[in-house]
C-alpha cells in the first residue's frame, strides 16, 4: 500500500518519498532579493523531503510585494541560488523554484511610487508590510495587453533563470490572490477584452503562462499551484467550481510534473471564512482528483495520518507540508520512526535571522 514513504516518479524525476516541502515565505533574503548562506543551511537541512518547493520567488521588480523575499531576475539572484540548489542536490534532494508575481497584493513603496498592477483596477483591501511600515493596499492599475505579453515573457525568463540556477523545475504560483489568481477570479477581473469576462478568457493568462514555460523548459519541469476555494488577499469568484474545473481540465493538455491544489487556507493569525458557493475544507482535492489526470499534490494543515490515508486511498499522489517541515527539518526520519514532532513558533516565521529558521532540533540530537 502506498504511503508518504513510497517512492514516486514525477516528470523525469524519481523521488524517494512523497513528503513535499510546501513553498514557505520566510523573509530571509537581502533587500535586493539575493539569497544567502542562511537560506542554504535551511534548505539543505530539509533535503530528505521527496521534493522541496522553494519559497515564492519574485519574477521581476514589479512582482515584488513583500520585504526580504528572493528574486530570480538578476545575475546576483541567480548566483545566490546556485549554492542552495547544489547543497540540496549534494544531500540527495530535488528542488523546484516557485515563480511569484504578487500583482495588486503589493504596495507602490516597492515600485518607486508607481501603482501596483493587476487584471483590473480593483483594490483588494487589507494592509501590507513595507520597509516604511505597515500601509494600506492601494488600487492597482489594469495591465495593458502589451504588458500582459511582457509579463508572460518575464515568467519564461524567470523559469530559464531557475534552470540556470540549478533548480530541477518550477512551480507557477497561481494561488492565494496573487497575479495569476487575480486574472482567474471574477472578483478581481472585470476586463472586457480577451483576458476578462468569460471563464475561458479569465483563465487565458494563467494557461498562457503554463504553455510558455512548458515550451521553454519542458512540461515535465513545469508545475502550478492553485487555491480553488481561496479567499486570502480579498479573493472571490462568482462560480469558483466551474471556473477552476475549466482551468484544471485544460491543464490535462500538458504533461506537467504535477498540479498542486490547496485546501481552504488562512495565514497565521487569520481565520478562513467559508463561502457558500465554494468547495469546503477537505472537499477541494477530492473534487479535482476526478478532473486532473496527472500527478496531484495537496496541501494545508494535513496530519501525517491524514496524508497517508489520502495517498493510500488514491486521492492524491503526494502531500505538501509547511509548518511541520519548518519545525521538523528531519520530518521524513521522524515519520519513518513514528517519533514525536517539534512544535513550530509562529512568531519566528517572518522575523529574520537564525531563530526559528535553522535551529529546530533533529531527532538524533
Please tell me the predicted confidence (pLDDT) of residue 274. Answer: 78
Largest CA distance in the chain: 59
Tens of each residue's pLDDT in the chain, 365 residues: 999 999 999 988 999 999 999 999 999 999 999 999 999 999 999 999 999 999 999 999 999 999 999 999 999 999 999 999 999 999 999 999 999 999 999 999 999 999 999 999 999 999 999 999 999 999 999 999 999 999 999 999 999 999 999 999 999 999 999 999 999 999 999 999 999 999 999 999 999 999 999 999 999 999 999 999 999 999 999 999 999 999 999 999 999 999 999 999 887 777 888 788 999 999 999 999 999 999 999 999 999 999 999 999 999 999 999 999 999 999 999 999 999 999 999 999 999 999 999 999 999 87
Please tell me the predicted confidence (pLDDT) of residue 336. Answer: 98
Residue positions counted in the chain:
365
What CATH number corresponds to the domain at position 186? 3.20.20.70
> How many C-beta neighbours within 10 Å does residue 205 have?
25
Number of domains in the chain: 1
Q: Is residue 356 part of a domain?
A: no
pLDDT digits (tens, 9 = 90+) for 37-87: 999 999 999 999 999 999 999 999 999 999 999 999 999 999 999 999 999
320: enclosing H helix or E strand: strand 318-321
Q: Is residue 358 part of a domain?
A: no
Q: Is residue 40 part of a domain?
A: yes
> Residue 36, class by beta-carbon neighbours within 10 Å (0-12 exposed, 13-18 middle, 19+ buried)?
middle
CB of 107 closer than 8 Å to CB of 137: yes
Please tell me the predicted confidence (pLDDT) of residue 271. Answer: 82
Which residues lie below 8 Å from residue 29, measured CB to CB, with a gap of 6+?
A: 35, 36, 39, 68, 69, 70, 71, 80
Supply 134's cell numbers: 505597515
Supply 237's cell numbers: 469568484
Residue with cell 530539509: 46
Spatial separation of the C-alpha atoms in residues 14 and 2, rounded to whole Å = 15
Which of 178, 195, 278, 357 is the catalytic position?
Answer: 178
Q: Is residue 359 part of a domain?
A: no
pLDDT digits (tens, 9 = 90+) for 148-201: 999 999 999 999 999 999 999 999 999 999 999 999 999 999 999 999 999 999
Residue with cell 492599475: 141
- Annotation marks residue 178 as catalytic: yes
> Residue 86, class by beta-carbon neighbours within 10 Å (0-12 exposed, 13-18 middle, 19+ buried)?
middle
Query: What range defines the domain where residue 281 resides?
Result: 8-348
Q: Is residue 355 part of a domain?
A: no
3-state secondary structure of 58: strand
Distances (CA, A) of 240 to 87, 202, 276, 338: 40, 12, 11, 39
Q: Residue 95 pairs with which residues in a beta bridge?
A: 52
Q: Is residue 363 part of a domain?
A: no
- Rg of the chain, C-alpha, whole Å: 19
> Residue 82, class by beta-carbon neighbours within 10 Å (0-12 exposed, 13-18 middle, 19+ buried)?
middle
Which residues lie below 8 Å from residue 267, measured CB to CB, with a gap of 6+?
A: 232
Q: Is residue 17 part of a domain?
A: yes
Q: Is residue 360 part of a domain?
A: no
Which residues lie below 8 Å from residue 119, measured CB to CB, with a gap of 6+?
A: 103, 142, 143, 179, 182, 183, 188, 189, 190, 191, 195, 196, 202, 205
Residue 113 backbone phi and psi in degrees, to 5: 85, -5
Please tell me the predicted confidence (pLDDT) of residue 273. Answer: 84
Global confidence as pTM? 0.98
Amino acid at each position: 500500500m502506498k504511503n508518504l514513504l513510497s517512492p514516486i516518479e514525477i516528470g523525469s524525476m524519481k523521488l524517494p518519498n512523497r513528503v513535499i516541502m510546501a513553498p514557505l515565505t520566510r523573509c530571509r533574503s537581502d533587500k535586493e532579493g539575493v539569497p544567502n548562506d542562511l537560506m542554504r543551511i535551511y534548505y539543505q537541512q530539509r533535503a530528505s523531503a521527496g521534493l522541496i518547493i522553494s519559497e515564492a520567488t519574485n519574477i521581476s521588480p514589479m512582482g515584488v510585494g513583500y520585504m526580504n523575499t528572493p528574486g530570480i531576475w538578476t545575475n546576483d539572484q541567480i548566483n545566490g541560488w546556485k549554492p542552495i540548489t547544489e547543497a540540496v542536490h549534494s544531500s540527495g534532494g530535488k528542488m523546484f523554484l516557485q515563480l511569484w508575481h504578487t500583482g495588486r497584493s503589493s504596495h507602490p513603496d516597492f515600485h518607486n511610487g508607481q501603482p501596483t498592477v493587476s487584471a483590473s483596477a480593483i483594490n483588494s483591501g487589507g494592509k501590507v508590510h513595507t520597509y516604511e511600515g505597515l500601509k494600506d493596499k492601494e488600487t492597482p492599475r489594469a495591465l495593458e495587453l502589451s504588458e500582459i505579453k511582457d509579463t508572460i515573457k518575464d515568467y519564461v525568463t524567470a523559469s530559464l533563470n531557475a534552470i540556470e540556477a540549478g533548480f530541477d523545475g518550477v512551480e507557477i504560483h497561481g494561488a492565494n490572490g496573487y497575479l495569476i489568481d487575480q486574472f482567474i477570479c471574477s472578483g478581481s477581473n472585470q476586463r472586457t477584452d480577451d483576458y476578462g469576462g468569460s471563464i475561458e478568457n479569465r483563465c487565458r493568462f494563467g494557461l498562457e503562462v503554463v504553455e510558455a514555460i512548458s515550451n521553454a523548459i519542458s512540461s515535465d519541469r513545469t508545475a502550478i499551484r492553485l487555491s480553488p476555494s481561496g479567499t486570502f488577499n480579498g479573493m472571490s469568484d462568482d462560480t469558483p467550481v466551474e471556473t477552476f474545473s475549466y482551468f484544471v481540465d485544460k491543464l490535462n493538455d500538458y504533461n506537467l510534473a504535477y498540479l498542486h491544489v490547496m485546501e481552504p487556507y488562512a495565514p497565521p493569525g487569520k481565520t478562513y471564512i467559508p463561502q457558500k458557493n465554494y468547495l469546503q475544507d477537505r472537499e477541494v482535492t477530492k473534487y479535482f482528483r476526478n478532473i486532473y489526470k496527472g500527478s496531484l499534490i495537496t496541501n494545508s494543515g494535513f496530519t501525517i495520518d491524514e496524508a497517508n490515508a489520502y495517498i493510500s486511498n488514491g486521492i492524491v499522489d503526494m502531500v505538501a507540508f509547511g509548518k511541520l517541515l519548518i519545525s521538523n527539518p528531519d520530518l521524513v526520519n521522524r515519520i519513518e520512526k513514528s517519533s514525536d514532532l517539534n512544535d513550530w513558533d509562529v512568531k519566528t516565521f517572518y522575523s529574520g535571522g537564525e531563530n526559528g529558521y535553522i535551529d529546530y532540533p533533529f531527532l538524533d540530537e
